[in-house]
Structure 1
């Protein structure tokens, strides 16, 4: 199956995507509706110039699977995930944004608009993230009117269903006024 040439370019800067680029292919590009929300998912493939070469002299191909669902309205930039090993090595602990020690210890939240993030991350939404194991494995990113998650690896039908269910569960828990106040 060939890639949808140029389809991935609009997602530059989101998750595993490069900060900029042109004519980037989205492999296994799928669009549709899931639980009443428009969605897209695709694989982005690239070779890391620093990766070792294979026996045949080629560089290893890296696969990134990206999933997004439409949000009820526009939102400000927000990126949430557990602190990475690199964050720990560099001494970049979780951002202290919400003054909820358990949440602040478990998640790093980057944002451009603190009011939007506080409207999104209500007590109920934080409790959901703290209790749902999917939150530990699925970074989240809000960009405009879309909510994203991703992982390194190829897509499977089960992964598609699992990630879209997670994104829909998140969107359904975010208070409606969060999307109208952004």
Structure 2
């Protein structure tokens, strides 16, 4: 069965965005060792899962082929099929992307298919619903050494869920990745 991973940048106090989704707290550049970790994380991925709000900026940004990104990363982000979770879109306005309304049904169907792993990048509502539904197999939290006090939380406010810490890695840039899995 395919593994469903989450990769998201977070603050040390557990937010993935400011109160209005601000990302101005992401001030550190990634170091080569963090880039290598992310490359290894995505090496077996063949499907990206996004919320509609994130997809609206994410997909066009990568399709613009940002000069500060290497060609392999850009090609991966453009060419990998995407599933966009939305309650408002009936069909995808993007190439190489399909729209689904029910993340639980979509994840179950995707995981039952043969293929590589799945990865979710966000947005915040999607991440919280995936965590609350117990749909993720691995959480890779890229922790930035900053606290913002309030914002868009990674974890749902209601609902207890036990996680197993299976890795903690500090990188040269000062960030760390905490890897969690669902205990068996």
Task: Decide: shared fold, TM above 0.5.
Answer: no
Identify the TM-score tier after normalising by the shorter chain: under 0.3
Higher relative contact order (CA 8 A, sep 6+): 2
- Rg larger in structure: 1
